[in-house]
Every structure is written in C-alpha cells, then in structure tokens.
Amino acid sequence: MDLPRLQDGGVDLQVFGVVTRVPHSRNYDANRGDTDVLPTLFIASWRSPATWFSLKERALVQANELRSLTGTSPLSLVLRREDLSIAGPKGLLALEGMHALEGRAEALGELYSAGFRMMGLTHHFDNEAAGSAHGDKKYGLTEFGRTLVPEMEALGITIDLAHASPAAIRDTLALVTKPVVVSHVGVQGTCPGPRNLSDEQLRDIARNGGVIGIGYWKAAVCDPSVEGIVTAILYAISIAGVDHVGLGSDFDGNVAAPFDATGLPMLTESLLEAGLSMEDVSKIIGGNVKRVLAANLPL
C-alpha cells in the first residue's frame, strides 16, 4: 500500500494504523508485554532518540510524518466530520493499542492533538487499559480503560476493538454510547481463531451500530484469496447485517495479503457476482465505515 496504489485502486479513505510496541516471539495465542523489538527499528531508521524507548513519542513522530506527507502530496488528513467530504485520497490516523499512553490519561489529549481519530484498546499484549486476545491474561477493561472510553467518545475518537480480548469487547460494548469498529478481523463462522469474532460478538457489534472490517490474511479468513475474503464478508453479513460489515485489509501489517491496494476492485466485482446489489456493495466497501466515522468525528 502506497499513495500511487491507493489512487490506482480507487481508494477514497485509508486508515493508517500506528504501531508502538511489538513483543518478541509474537504469536496469536499468548504474548507477554515486557519485551519490545521496535527500539532497534527506530534506531536503525534514524528516528529521534526520544522514540527509542518511549511508546508515546513513537506514536507522535509517526503522526507527524503522516501530517508532513499531507503537505507534499494529494493526501489529506481526516480530523473533523467535514473532512470526509474532501475530494481526493484521505487518511485517518489510528493507534494500535492504548499502551502508547504509557498509563497516563493526559496523553490521550496529546495524541488527539497530534491527529489520532481512531484508537484500538490493545494490540498483541495486555496493557494498562484492557486485555488482548493475544495477551497473557486476556482480562477485560481495567479501571483505567473504563475512564478512557467516555473521554475518547467525548473527543471524537472512534474506538477500535480489533485485537481486544472477548472480555474487553464485552466490557466496552456495555459502556459505549457511540458505534465502534473492529478494524481488521475474521469471523469464527468461516475461520476459527483466537481473535476472530463469534456470532454472538457479531450480533453485539451490530446492535451497537458498529462495523466489522474483514481482513485479508490467512489467520483472518483461512483462505487468503478474493473468494475466501468474500466468503467471510457474506457470512458476517448473514449474522450482523449488511449495514455492519466493511473492509479491514491490514495492508502492510506484517501479514501476507492476496493483492495490494490496486486489487481492491476485484472485491467489488466478486461481491456483485455473489448477488449483492450495488447499494449494498457500496456500504461494504466504504459506506458503513464512513457512517460510523461521521457519527464519531468532532464537528
């Protein structure tokens, strides 16, 4: 995924997920949160020394890099609801895990000011806010996490439940007043796995008004092909309804996808061939996500 390929693929809005910590021996089942492979990457890429050991600084420097790109390219950054209507390719900054706050509630405002408008509770390990589907303990929302949820909603930040533990998903859905997303995920009905959503979770997210973004990689869909992705999308629609399913690529997310951003029209074509109407396909390939973002973004 890069800007030329986004343009060739007809992409109107791309979520840019910022990663700030990756544990050693990362796996799908259980990871401890006391290791980190990213310092080497940030040192080798000549980032500021402030980023070498600070998760918040890693988030801030990557946000600044994307903002800089918007000044030298056709890409614009979505910060307010009205920005969804800007012509040309758009980007939305997202955070993969609240560990980037480093346990400080005031850091939420700093990250919001830097441009973040979507935030996942967890990534590959449990943190101060919530348990991860890949964590060691897999607990629900902590007291710290419970204080963050209404603050995120008040600021206009969309809450992302991708990577969250089942307990954290349950706790969050019981607390939120606005629709959530599960930005990149699979479904148990077509591909069993520790972070793929059950039918009950699909229904709960639909009742919330949220959107489930179907991913493209093997652990999400089991069959990492256009046909396999469409099968997962159709299954999610059968349980959650067509208003609550979207695309959740995980492009450039350290996983293999069957096509790059220029191949997205293949999904549109395959969904139409599966018998969905153009109206419903339009919802899946972006309309549902834009509806949720519009409900959450600040004016």
Domains of the chain, by residue range, sit at 11-175, 179-299
Burial class (CB in 10 A: 0-12, 13-18, 19+), 278: exposed
- Find out whether 172 and 121 touch, Cβ atoms under 8 Å: yes
Please say whether the dihedral angle defined by the alpha carbons of residues 50, 52, 54 and 60, taken in this order, is positive or negative: positive
Mean local confidence (pLDDT), 75-94? 97
Confidence of residue 13 (pLDDT cuts 50, 70, 90): very high
Q: What residues pair up with 211 in beta bridges, in sequence order?
A: 181
- Find out whether 264 and 9 touch, Cβ atoms under 8 Å: yes
Q: What angle do CA 174, 231, 272 make, to 5 degrees?
A: 105
Task: Quote the CA–CA distance of 190 and 51 in Å, as a whole number.
Answer: 40
The predicted-structure confidence for 104-140, as pLDDT tens digits, reads as follows: 999 999 999 999 999 999 999 999 999 999 999 999 9
DSSP 66: H
The residue whose two tokens read 């409900």 is 295
Task: Quote the CA–CA distance of 168 and 163 in Å, as a whole number.
Answer: 10
Confirm whether 11-175 and 179-299 share one CATH topology: yes
3-state SS assignment for residue 132: strand
- CATH entry, 11-175, from 3.40.50.2300, 3.40.50.300, 3.20.20.140, 3.90.650.10: 3.20.20.140
Measured in degrees and rounded to the nearest 5, phi and psi for residue 117 equal: -125, 5
**Cα–Cα separations (whole angstroms), residue 112 to 15, 93, 106, 150, 240:** 15, 10, 10, 14, 31
Please say whether the dihedral angle defined by the alpha carbons of residues 206, 252, 83 and 115, taken in this order, is positive or negative: positive
- Find out whether 59 and 66 touch, Cβ atoms under 8 Å: no
76 HSE (CA, 13 A, CB side)? 12
What does the pLDDT read at residue 200?
A: 98
Using the predicted structure, report yes or no on whether residue 90 has a pLDDT greater than 90.
yes
Alpha helices per DSSP H over the chain: 3-8, 38-44, 55-70, 107-113, 143-155, 166-175, 199-208, 218-221, 226-240, 264-273, 278-282, 288-296
What does the pLDDT read at residue 31?
A: 87
Using the predicted structure, report yes or no on whether residue 26 has a pLDDT greater than 80.
no
Using the predicted structure, report yes or no on whether residue 157 has a pLDDT greater than 90.
yes
What does the pLDDT read at residue 8?
A: 96
Strands 116-120, 158-160: parallel, antiparallel or unpaired by DSSP? parallel
What does the pLDDT read at residue 161?
A: 98
Of residues 232, 227, 118, the one with CA closest to residue 185 = 232
Q: In CATH, what is the architecture of 179-299?
A: Alpha-Beta Barrel (3.20)
140: its two tokens: 């629900």
Mean local confidence (pLDDT), 60-68? 95
Q: CB under 8 Å to 86, separation ≥6 — which residues? A: 76, 78
